[in-house]
Structures are given as structure tokens and as C-alpha cells.
Amino acid sequence: MRKLELHWKILIGMVLGLVFGYIMTGVAGGETFVSNWIKPLGTIFVKLLKLIAIPLILASLVKGISDLKDISKFRNIGVRTIAIYMCTTLVAIILGLLLVNIIQPGDGISEETITKLTDTYVNDSGVTSKLKTASMQKSKGPLQFLEDMVPDNAIAAMSNNRLMLQVIFFTIFLGISILLIGEKRAKPLKDFFDSLNDVVLKMVDLIMLTAPFAVFALLANVVVSAGDPELLVALLKYAGVVVLGLLIMIVFYGILVAVFTKKNPFWFLKQMSPAQLLAFSTSSSAATLPVTMERVEEHIGVDKEVSSFVLPVGATINMDGTSLYQGVAAVFIAQALAFDLPLSEQLVIVLTALLASIGTAAVPGAGMVMLVIVLESVNFPPEKLAIGLALIFAVDRPLDMFRTVVNITGDATVAALVAKSVGKFGKPKPKHWDDHLDEVK
């Protein structure tokens, strides 16, 4: 089994999970069995990944910044990262809007399907809870996100995975201050974070040993909790447009990697594949973050000075897949419900989807919450919002899986681009969980 590469093991786990889940849907009590006995394995795995996300950000970002030895380099990395993130997100939204306008998936959808989807999902707790969360988000002012980024209590920030940007803010502050006290006095703290960083990366390796079993559990659960297959089929054209857009984004990243880093894009995607498969299985960029960081640093060769900043920031603010989906979904809903959405209004979508992708939490289903805000920005009638969401709810989970893959691939691509541009793209140096096992024995 050791010979088989990790991504193959994960892929086998995923396929077996899908098949097992499918079989269980046909067995009496199958759904309950999966939910009681299989799902917890997947949940524990996701919890373990989330458990190490904050210590990893803390250790690797402090190490990254304090290794820089020069603050102006950090400014360079910061400016480039944000600028490239904005550009890739804009490309994603515009691509989504182009595809949905050309293919028009919402036009052919029958009244009967709309009624059926509405009846099934309009009062679904998934839809109502998303509307509620969106209305809470909306009541905030335009600069609220900056205010939210600054913690008033470092420990409180670290105790909540949703406050990742606050942790990043505190860590950057800490890292810069470590740089400023001079090498000699900073050494004990730097050594501590260096060592902590190695330890947390080892934890990632150990957790990844269970990944093939965990994805089995995660996917079996997705299959047994999926909606009526007939409704899924009705939305095939819409889902197809989103998936087509996401595939084009992957090609786009491949081109960026080839042109700007001169690396083979297939090699790049292969190195990223374990993280992509996990993103697909967990639907969460935040849960995948530790693995994304490990792959980008050890297997692609991006220096920690870059990856430790670009990736955690990307997981929270850069969501190309989600932005593309928001563009497509908003126009699809408008088409299906015959709501007029001229091109000028669609430009508003470009802006709001860009901001929404910054505000979207890196957890399953968050993109749909921000979709509400995108729809409101084009004056979509509020009384029809629930109907709009009901229309696309049936396929939201599978699309979430695909868009999360694109979200993390986008982050990794930008990390490679920024690293290349500041001369921090080195040789890959993969580590294994048992590298030091002899010393322990």
C-alpha cells in the first residue's frame, strides 16, 4: 500500500464511498446507518484538520515573516498577492457571466419544475437559515470587514476558526515585531515557532494517513443525504454551466503556472491533487488549508515566506470558484423567474461578487449565503429570494464540492506566481510522516 501514491489512495476511498453510499440509499435503514456509524469518521477527520489550522497559521506565518529579514519584502508579497487575487477573481466572475449568458440554462426550465423545486425547498431549513445569515451579514457597513479583521483579544481570535483573518492580522503584527527587535534577541522566539511549525506539519502528515478512510465516510454521507435524483436532473444544464466554468478556471490556472513559473501545469496539478480531493470531499477551503499549505511548500517548492501568507489569506478572501458560481447562479435564477437583468445590472454583480468572495466564509455552503447579497444588489424582489434559492438548492452541495476545489487551486496558483515573482520558488522537498521514526525507536 505504501507504494501507491496518496492521491490514488484518496481517490479509491472516494469511489468506494460513492458506491457504498449509493448502495445504502437502496437499503432500508441505510441512511441512518451511514449517519450513525460512517459519518462520524469523516467529521472527526475534518475536525482534526481544523484543529491544527490556527497553530499552523501562527507558526508558519511567524516563521515566514521572521525569515524575511526585510519588511519591504513583505510589503511586496502583500501587494502582489492582493492584486493577483483580485484579478483571478474578476476573471472567474466575468467567465461565469459570459457562460450563463451564452448558454442560458434558466430559459428552458419548465413552470412545472420551478413549482416542484419551490415546493420542495422553499421552507427547507437549509434555505431559510441561509437567508437569515445573509440578512445578518447585510446589516453591516462597508468598512465593517476591516473592523472585523482587527481582534481585541488574541486568545479569543485564536479560539474561533471563523476568525482566521484576525489571527492572520495578529500573527503578522507579531512577526514584524519579532523582526524589529533584531536577530539576537528574536532567536528564542523564532526557534520556538520554527519547531512548532515542524511539529504541526508532522501532524498534517499523520492526519493524512487516515484521509482515504475519511473521504470514504464523507462521500458516503453526501450520497445518502442527496436530494431527489429527478430534481438533480432538472438542474443539469445549470450545474453543467457552473462545472464548465470551473473546468475552464483550472485550465486558466494551468496556463498561468506554465507562463509565469515555467513549470509543467500537469505536474502542478498532480502535486496539488491530494489537497484538491480533500477540498472536494470536505467542501471547505478552511479545513483543507493545512494540506494545501503542506503541498504547496513541500511538494511544489514555494518558500514559506510566501506560502505562509498567501495561502491562509487566500483561503479566507480568494474564492474564484465561489465567485464564478455566484455570477452563474444569480443570472440563472433571474432567467428562470423571468426577472429582467440587463448587462448594466450584471456589471453590479461583478462588483458585489468580488466583495462577496472576500466576505464568504471558507466553509460548506457559505457561497449560497453571499449569493443572497449578490441578488439583492441587483434589486431582486425580496419576496422571491427564497424561491430563487430553492431553485438551486438541490445541486448546491455537489457544486460546492467542485467550487471548493477551484478555490484552493486558485490560492495555490497565486502562491506559485507570487513566489516566482519575488524569487522564492525553490525545489520541492517532500517529507514523510516516518522520516524520524528510527530516532524514536
Give 311 or 363: the residue with its C-beta nearer to ligand ASP. 363
> Which C-beta is closer to ligand ASP: that of 322 or that of 377?
322
Q: What's the closest the beta carbon of residue 407 comes to ligand ASP, in angstroms?
A: 4
Please give the backbone phi and psi of residue 304, each rounded to the nearest 5 degrees, phi first.
-60, -30
Q: How far is the CB of 194 from ligand ASP (least distance, A)?
A: 29
- SS3 letters across the chain: CCCCCHHHHHHHHHHHHHHHHHHHHCCCCHHHHHHHHHHHHHHHHHHHHHHHHHHHHHHHHHHHHHHHCCHHHHHHHHHHHHHHHHHHHHHHHHHHHHHHHHHCCCCCCCHHHHHHHHHHHCCCHHHHHHHHHHHHHHCCCCCHHHHHHCCCCHHHHHCCHHHHHHHHHHHHHHHHHHHHCCHHHHHHHHHHHHHHHHHHHHHHHHHHCCHHHHHHHHHHHHHHCCCCHHHHHHCHHHHHHHHHHHHHHHHHHHHHHHHHHCCCHHHHHHHHHHHHHHHHHHCCHHHHHHHHHHHHHHHHCECHHHHHHHHHHHHHHCCHHHHHHHHHHHHHHHHHCCCCCCHHHHHHHHHHHHHHHHHCCCCCCHHHHHHHHHHHHCCCCHHHHHHHHHHHHCCHHHHHHHHHHHHHHHHHHHHHHHHHHCCCECCCCCCCCCCCHHHHC
Residue 93 or residue 174: which is nearer to ligand ASP going by CB? 93
Query: Measured from the CB atom, is 57 or 179 closer to ligand ASP?
Result: 57
**Residues of the shown chain interacting with ligand ASP in the complex, contacts defined by CB under 6 A:** 283-285, 319, 322, 360, 362-367, 400, 403-404, 407
Q: Which is nearer to ligand ASP, 324 or 419 (CB)?
A: 324
Residue 215 Cβ, how far from ligand ASP at the closest point, in Å?
Answer: 16
Rounded to a whole number of angstroms, the minimum distance from the CB of residue 399 to ligand ASP is: 8
| Residue placing its CB nearer to ligand ASP in the complex, 113 or 225 | 225
Provide the residue type at 185 as one letter.
R
* Shortest reach from residue 359's CB to ligand ASP, in Å: 11
The phi and psi torsions of 139 (rounded to 5 degrees) equal -70, 5
Smallest gap from Cβ 278 to ligand ASP, in A, equals: 11
Q: Of 118 and 292, which has the nearer Cβ to ligand ASP?
A: 292
Nearest approach in angstroms of CB 439 to ligand ASP is 38
Shortest spacing between CB 133 and ligand ASP, in angstroms: 12
Strand partners, 425: 302
Cβ contacts of residue 65 below 8 Å, gap of 6+? 74, 171, 172, 175, 176, 178, 179, 305, 308, 309
With respect to ligand ASP, which residue has the nearer C-beta, 62 or 333?
333
Residue 45 CB, shortest distance to ligand ASP, in Å, is 16
Nearer to ligand ASP, 322 or 413 (CB): 322
Q: In angstroms, what is the minimal distance from the CB of 392 to ligand ASP?
A: 12
Cell representation of residue 252: 486558466
Residue nearest to ligand ASP (CB): 367
Which residue, 161 or 273, is less far from ligand ASP as judged by CB?
161
